[in-house]
Each structure stands twice: as structure tokens, then as C-alpha cells.
């Protein structure tokens, strides 16, 4: 059984924007107008509309055979990697400058955790593009704004009483350091969770949810009601440990079953593809964000470590809480660029992972290594 493969048919010049594969709901709507044609095991050719008659000559198709369809064998390799991992895992690989995507459990929702910081930054930059915010706009952060877990900016707030950072500095800190307080400060500045959800809906990003913000999300998953005192030291961890086991289990089971920050691997790969193609933000904001993501410091041994020399990778990681030896959300998503400039969106979401961390990283590396190995075949 191979991975699910999707190919979009149509004549496209090398400089044209290629429509990305649709999400499952959007596919169903499209199929009501044009039914897909099966061309082989696991492959579907989806017509992208009636032919358009024009007096101009039809553009030449790309010479690269990998533009139209995934390299033979890559879907099977990804399936074997997926099958071998003992936890709940979703995988998506999409050729950004092409017409295909491969997935395993690609349409299911997985906890994003800090991967969702990407949607906050996208919403902020969209507001910048539309003149509602400025990158040099100042944002004050006080003790009442601190969150929990990884928040390097908290030490500055605690020593100085408050700090002022620009939107640009907050984006850099939230993405490259995965700072929860920096991210929630951006979230507050852009208008809260509803503003991010409106951006996701307006851009039709598909099966991507955005939760209530870091504090409420983490407290709810643990079975706690947020108190600001939890932002200091290890107060949150102490309160969580003091909960009855039944309370913790019920809260974690509910989060696993229906994560408020859930997203599908296919939707995330599609969003990365659209970001790279420049169809989500202005050219300036697109290049800025892609540049920031190249400086991500977290997860150097996840997807990035599987790529050979000469490849580049920009990404965002996410790691959830541990419960009885299981991590709920161990993720990495990003854009890999081959030496010849070909780009791939790669998404690995481990919704439930009980294996040792090195084994999780090895699985991620196997996915990115497979993409590089089959590139150009």
C-alpha cells in the first residue's frame, strides 16, 4: 500500500503559479464539477477546469519529469517509514514547483503545538501588508503578559519590570526561538485568536485550526484553569503534578481526540507551498518570513538533519506536553531546497510519540532523506 498521491493536470509555464492540491473538503466540492480520473495505483489526476481557448500558443510543459508526478518509489518509501514508526504519525511531501503531493494520514488532524506560531506570524504580516500594523511598531510586555514553558523573554521582563519590542523583533523571537511569550504578544497585537482564524479562513488554508493562545491551550490540555502565577518558574508544572490522575487523563484524552490546535499534514504542506509561491503575502513579506525561518534554532536534528550537503531547509518545530511517557505533538514542518533550486514542502506530525527522542528524530530524518534521495529520478 503506497502513500496517497495527488497530481493536478494542466499546462503551466515555468514561471506560472501552479494551483496547489486541494484539501479533502475542497476536493469534494471540485469533484462535483469534475470527477478525477485514476491513472495508476494511488494516483489521481484532477482536472483544474475546462480548457481556455486563446489566440496565443500554449505554453511548453516543463522538461523536468518530476514536475508532473512524484518519483517512482517515493510513495512506497514514505509508507514504509510511516508504518515503522510506533506512534500516531502524519506525513506530507509536496513539490512546490510542481503538481504532486504524497501523504500518509494526510487529512487527519494532529496537534500542532508551536507549529501554530507560523499562522500567527502570517496573520501579522498580512496586517502589515494591509497597513494595519508596522514591523517597527512597539509592543510592551509586562509580567501580566508572560506565558509558560519556553519563553526566554521572560527573564528580561522579570529583571526589568517590562520590556518593549518591535513587531519585527517579536517575529524573530517567536519563530527562531519558539518563544511563547513573544508569540502570544504578537497574537494580542494582531487581534487575538479570532484574527488568526479569520486569516486562515480568508486564505482558504483548509484543515488548520488555531487554538486559544498558549496559556489557555496548555492549561486545558493539562486539566488546569489558567492562573497568571503559573507563568513564574515551574509553578505550572507543580500545579499539574498535583492534579488527580483522573483529571489529567481526561484532559489529555480530550485534547488528543479533538485538538483545538489540530491541523492536517496535507493542509500544512499546501500552506507552505502557497507561502513559497508568494500567494499568501506580499513579495516583501514573503521573502522576509522565509528568511526568518532559515534562522530557526529549534529541532536541528529533526527534518533538517536528514538532508545532504548542498540542500537548504527553513522550518518551524512544535513540541507538546509529556504524559506518562508519551509526547502529545512532536512536529517539524518546512521547505527543503535542492541544489538545483527545486523546492519541497515537508511535514511530519507525530501526534502521539512514546519512543525515545532519538528514534523520533531518526524517523523525521528518514523522511527528508527520502525526498533528497528520490529527487531528480
DSSP per-residue letters across 249-279:
HHHHHHHHHS-TTEE-HHHHHHHHHHHHHT-
Q: Per-residue confidence at 259, pLDDT binned at 50, 70, 90?
A: very high
Rounded CA-CA distance 296/152 in Å is 15
Residue 17, domain member (yes or no): no
Contact 309, 318 (CB under 8 A): no
Residue 107, domain member (yes or no): yes
- Would you say residue 113 has pLDDT above 60? yes
For residues 161 and 221, membership in a common domain is answered with: yes
Bridge partners (DSSP) listed for residue 320: none
Find the distance separating the first CA and the last CA of the chain, reported in whole Å: 21
Give the cell for residue 263: 491541523
Give the cell for residue 290: 522565509
Structural domain range at position 313: 65-112+261-374
DSSP 8-state assignment for residue 143: G
Instruction: Rounding to the nearest 10 degrees, give the CA dihedral for residues 240, 246, 252, 256.
Output: 180
pLDDT score recorded for residue 142: 98
For residues 157 and 250, membership in a common domain is answered with: yes
Give the tens place of pLDDT for each residue, 264-315: 999 999 999 999 999 999 999 999 999 999 999 999 999 999 999 999 999 9
pLDDT score recorded for residue 250: 98
Rounded CA-CA distance 67/47 in Å is 16
* Percentage of the residues of the chain whose pLDDT score is greater than 70: 83
Give the tens place of pLDDT for each residue, 37-68: 333 333 333 232 333 333 334 344 456 767 88
Bridge partners (DSSP) listed for residue 335: 314, 345
Report the predicted TM-score, pTM, of the whole model to 2 decimal places: 0.84
Contact 98, 337 (CB under 8 A): no
Q: What angle do CA 338, 319, 192 make, to 5 degrees?
A: 100
Contact 30, 213 (CB under 8 A): no
CB atoms within 10 A of CB 238: 10
For residues 183 and 139, membership in a common domain is answered with: yes
Residue 225, domain member (yes or no): yes
Give the cell for residue 33: 464539477
Q: Which CATH number characterizes residue 337's domain?
A: 3.40.710.10
Our count of domains for the chain comes to 2
Amino acid at each position: 500500500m503506497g502513500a496517497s498521491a495527488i497530481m493536478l493536470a494542466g499546462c503551466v509555464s515555468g514561471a506560472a503559479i501552479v494551483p496547489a492540491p486541494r484539501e479533502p473538503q475542497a476536493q469534494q466540492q471540485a469533484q462535483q464539477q469534475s470527477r478525477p480520473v485514476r491513472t495508476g495505483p494511488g494516483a489521481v489526476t484532477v482536472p483544474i477546469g475546462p480548457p481556455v481557448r486563446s489566440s496565443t500558443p500554449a505554453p511548453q510543459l516543463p522538461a523536468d519529469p518530476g514536475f508532473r508526478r512524484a518519483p517512482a518509489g517515493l510513495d512506497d518509501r514514505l509508507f514504509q517509514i510511516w508504518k515503522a514508526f510506533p506512534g500516531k504519525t502524519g506525513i506530507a511531501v509536496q513539490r512546490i514547483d510542481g503538481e504532486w503531493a504524497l501523504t500518509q494520514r494526510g487529512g487527519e488532524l494532529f496537534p500542532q503545538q508551536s507549529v501554530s506560531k507560523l499562522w500567527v506570524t502570517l496573520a501579522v504580516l498580512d496586517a502589515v501588508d494591509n497597513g494595519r500594523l508596522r514591523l517597527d511598531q512597539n509592543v510592551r510586555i509586562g509580567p501580566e503578559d508572560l506565558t509558560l514553558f519556553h519563553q526566554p523573554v521572560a527573564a528580561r521582563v522579570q529583571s526589568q519590570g517590562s520590556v518593549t519590542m518591535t513587531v519585527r523583533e517579536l517575529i524573530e523571537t517567536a519563530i527562531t526561538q519558539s518563544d511563547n511569550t513573544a508569540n502570544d504578544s504578537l497574537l494580542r497585537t494582531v487581534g487575538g485568536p479570532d484574527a488568526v482564524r479569520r486569516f486562515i479562513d480568508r486564505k482558504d488554508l483548509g484543515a488548520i485550526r488555531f487554538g486559544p493562545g498558549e496559556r489557555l491551550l496548555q492549561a486545558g490540555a493539562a486539566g488546569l484553569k489558567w492562573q497568571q502565577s503559573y507563568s513564574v518558574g515551574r509553578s505550572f508544572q507543580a500545579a499539574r503534578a498535583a492534579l488527580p490522575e483522573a483529571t489529567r487523563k481526561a484532559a489529555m484524552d480530550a485534547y488528543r481526540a479533538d485538538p483545538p490546535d489540530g491541523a492536517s499534514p496535507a493542509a500544512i504542506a499546501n500552506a507552505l507551498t502557497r507561502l513559497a509561491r508568494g500567494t499568501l503575502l506580499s513579495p516583501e513579506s514573503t521573502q522576509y518570513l522565509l528568511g526568518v525561518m532559515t534562522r530557526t534554532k529549534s529541532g536541528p536534528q529533526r527534518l533538517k538533519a536528514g538532508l545532504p550537503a548542498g540542500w537548504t531547509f527553513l522550518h518551524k518545530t512544535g513540541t507538546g506536553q509529556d504524559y506518562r511517557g508519551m509526547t502529545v505533538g512532536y512536529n517539524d514542518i518546512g521547505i527543503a531546497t535542492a541544489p538545483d533550486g527545486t523546492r519541497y514542502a515537508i511535514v511530519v506530525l507525530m501526534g502521539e510519540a512514546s519512543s525515545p527522542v532519538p528514534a523520533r528524530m531518526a524517523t523525521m530524518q528518514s523522511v527528508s532523506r527520502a525526498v533528497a534521495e528520490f529527487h531528480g529520478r
